Amino acid sequence: MLTRVLHSSITRRFVTALGTLFGVAVLVFAMLRAIPGDQVTAQFGIESGALTAAQRASLESYYGLDQPLFVQFFSWLGNVLTGNQGFSARSHMSVAELTALSLPVTIELAIITIVFSLLLGVPLGMLSASKPNSARDAFGQVIALAGLSIPAFLLGSSVMAWAASSWGENPNGQAFAQLAENPGLNLRQMILPAAVLAFGIAAPIMRTTRTAVLDVRSKDFIRTARAKGLAPRRIQFRHVLTNALVPITTMTGLQFGYLLGGAIVIEQVFSLPGIGRQVLVGIEQKEYAVVQSTILIIAVCFVLVNLLTDILYRVIDPRVRAL
């Protein structure tokens, strides 16, 4: 029964995901071409004005800019579907090779950030919910509000400056170290950006945890457990937190998906060669194939994370399997 329900749910969401990805592809293609300039201008800068009409026409033909937009779009989409995601003239590498280097960096950053966020957000949310409208609740709400309000680039810059002045070193000022090559330096380079991101990500997790715990605590089975004389700690962790996992899991999945593409500011501040920074460089260089394909890869990852989250909370809570 569980397998049949999950199969139906996965099929329905897979069809929806395909429509979403096509919409993302169209939107990114259109928005990128709305930015002034093109690949020729980005490559030659102010010297592009000195190109003859024949030279410009030759370059536009090379980049495919002389074709109608709908031809450019379906040509790019067809190449992506056949495994050809494009080529970066700046780095002399294919988009697939660039992504193979940058995506693991962002995934590692996202995983560490989510771990920090859960360690901060869930206990803080449970603490706030344990005594609503009290000083501890106000403290938790203030922390959550600060996490939502302080810009990541400001907090990141401040933390990096403080760490450099207090510790006398800046790990992110060195060349990035891959986890397999130098685990110690890699973790040192990841800790600060992950902590900065976690401060903002923990805020919605904390508020979701607080709301979910308060909702579960008002249920009849919790009052029954108290009437039976069960220990408060057991009620809190065995009954309340377990039944509050669905909204917490959903929010965590959404935040993890956001981190795969939304960590671009922190990657730039801390000089991490992640996939968000890859998009930023591609936009600066007007490398259409790099930006389009990379954002589509981010969208695919986001859809997969949300699909896995949906499956996970259907496994956690049988009550939502029929939805």
Q: How far is CA 275 from CA 137, 265, 286, in A?
A: 38, 11, 16
- pLDDT at site 115: 94
- pLDDT at site 301: 86
pLDDT tier for residue 111 given thresholds of 50, 70 and 90: very high
- Comparing 223 with 2, the larger pLDDT belongs to 223
Please write the tens of the pLDDT for every residue from 143-191: 988 988 888 888 888 888 888 888 777 777 788 888 888 888 889 889 9
Radius of gyration of the chain (CA): 24
- pLDDT at site 5: 52
277 has pLDDT over 80: yes
Q: How far is CA 84 from CA 78, 87, 100, 287, 300, in A?
A: 8, 9, 14, 15, 16
Quote the CA–CA distance of 6 and 323 in Å, as a whole number. 11
- pLDDT at site 4: 59
What is the CA 139 to chain-centroid distance, rounded? 28
Quote the CA–CA distance of 217 and 240 in Å, as a whole number. 6
Which of 185-199, 227-241, 247-261 has the lowest average pLDDT? Answer: 227-241
Please write the tens of the pLDDT for every residue from 200-242: 999 999 999 998 888 888 777 777 877 777 777 777 777 777 7
The CATH class, in words, for 103-285 is mainly alpha
Please write the tens of the pLDDT for every residue from 290-315: 888 888 888 888 888 887 877 777 77
Q: Counting every residue, how long is the chain?
A: 323
Closest CA to 198 of 120, 125, 298: 120
119 has pLDDT over 90: yes
Domain boundaries, the chain: 103-285
Quote the CA–CA distance of 269 and 261 in Å, as a whole number. 15
- pLDDT at site 46: 62
Q: Which residues pair with 93 in a beta bridge?
A: 88
pTM of the model: 0.81
- pLDDT at site 220: 76
Mean per-residue pLDDT, 30-40: 74
- pLDDT at site 49: 66
pLDDT averaged over the chain?
82
The per-residue b/e assignment along 84-107, b for 16 or more CB within 10 angstroms, e otherwise, is ebbbbeebeebbeebbebbbebbb
Q: Which residues pair with 94 in a beta bridge?
A: 87
Name the token pair of 68.
Answer: 């109608």
- pLDDT at site 198: 93
Which of 19-33, 71-85, 225-239 has the lowest average pLDDT? Answer: 225-239
Quote the CA–CA distance of 62 and 288 in Å, as a whole number. 13
Helix (H, G, I), strand (E, B) or coil at 132: coil
What angle (nearest 5°) sits at the alpha carbon of residue 313, between those of residues 214 and 121?
45
